[in-house]
Amino acid sequence: MKMQINKGKILVTPRSLSKSGHPFLERLREAGYEVIMPFPGVQPSIEELSSVLPECAGYLAGVEKVSAEVLKKCDKLRVISRNGVGIDNVDARAAGEMGISLQVARGANSRGVAELAITLMLTLLRDISSTNSSVKNGGWHRTKGFEVDGRTLGIIGTGQIGQYTAKMAAGLDMKIIAYDPYPTPELPERIPGFSYESINVLFSSSDIISLHCPAGSIPLINSETLGLCRKGTYLINTARSALVDQNALLSALDKGIIAGYAVDAFDSEPPELSPLLKHDKVILTSHIGGFTAESIDRATEAAVKNLLDNLD
């Protein structure tokens, strides 16, 4: 019998994987790595990571914070492979200084996030959340909703998620205007009703705005940009919590400038319930954009491949 060589440990922390495993993780074991999941179904703290990550050669990481303090202890670590596209939670500079390769599962959850953005849009426009709560509590609350045919969806960021969202909106006979500092020239030809516009035109002309972009040094949704919006605009954020100035958005909700806000992205999970998040015109979902069976399969396969390609 051929002896299996142990090439080192690989830490797996995404909650969708650590709770019940995944068939694609077997590829790591077959390649000679020991897969460890010491935090099943929970997001590890910095202290917990510090206790196990320094002994690992590879790391299949979730959304937990990976600080420079932790990485500087990890002399054996060669690869961090995210099962998503965001790397905001990882100190990329510290990883580079330690010679640790940082990999992402590009595009793996794009369709799942886009479908959630469309779902949240329709939920806001038909006031599904309040209606559901009312009927379950013996009431009969009814809100006159809006149909999306002919309405304008503003999409900020036209990467894969933004493009999927635009295609779905076009299928609902919506007009789509988009802003991206690096536009994709062929999109206006490929998607009916699609055009690129300036960021100011997007804010002033959209009935619904959906965020699909990374966060910058200051919030994109602030008092200035909200001041450009028409009264009764809806806002959807499946991207980053840091895109939104919470106080400015809360004021816009109270004034009716923003008619409803739906968000699937938070600084911490679960989030601290601020006045904005507790507002009755706000819908919260628990970071479920990429939490579909298909997205998990694609992301896990990509993350495992990235680990093996860079480790071996």
The CB density around residue 218, as the number of other CB atoms within 10 Å, is 9
Mean pLDDT, to the nearest integer, of 195-199? 98
Average pLDDT value for residue range 152-162: 97
Q: How confident is the model at residue 160 (pLDDT cuts 50, 70, 90)?
A: very high
pLDDT digits (tens, 9 = 90+) for 266-289: 998 899 999 999 999 999 999 999
According to the model, what pLDDT value does residue 32 have? 96
pLDDT of residue 4: 59
Cα(50)–Cα(58) distance, integer angstroms: 14
Per the prediction, the chain carries an average pLDDT of 95
Buried b / exposed e over 182-194, threshold 16 CB at 10 Å, is: eeeeebeeebebb
Residue 122 and residue 172 in contact, taking contact as beta carbons nearer than 8 Å: no
- The total of other beta-carbon atoms located within 10 Å of residue 278's CB is 10
pLDDT single digits (tens) 34-91: 999 999 999 999 999 999 999 999 999 998 999 999 999 999 999 999 998 878 899 9
| Residue 235, CA distances (Å) to 35, 174, 239 in order | 41, 16, 12
pLDDT of residue 5: 72
Q: Which residues form the catalytic set?
A: 240, 269, 287
* Residue 3 in this model has a pLDDT that exceeds 80: no
The pair of structure tokens assigned to 304 is 């495992």
Q: For residues 107 and 307, which has the higher predicted lDDT (pLDDT)?
A: 307
Q: Give, in order, the Cα–Cα distances in Å from 208 to each of 63, 212, 278.
A: 28, 13, 21
The secondary structure of 153-176 as a DSSP string is EEEE--SHHHHHHHHHHHHTT-EE
Task: Give me the pLDDT at residue 88, please.
Answer: 84
Which 8-state DSSP code applies to residue 38?
Answer: S
Residues 106-114, mean pLDDT to the nearest whole number: 94
- pTM attached to this predicted model: 0.90
Q: How far apart are CA 154 and CA 207, in angstroms?
A: 8
Residue 1 predicted with pLDDT over 80? no
Decide if 157 contacts 132 (C-beta within 8 A). no
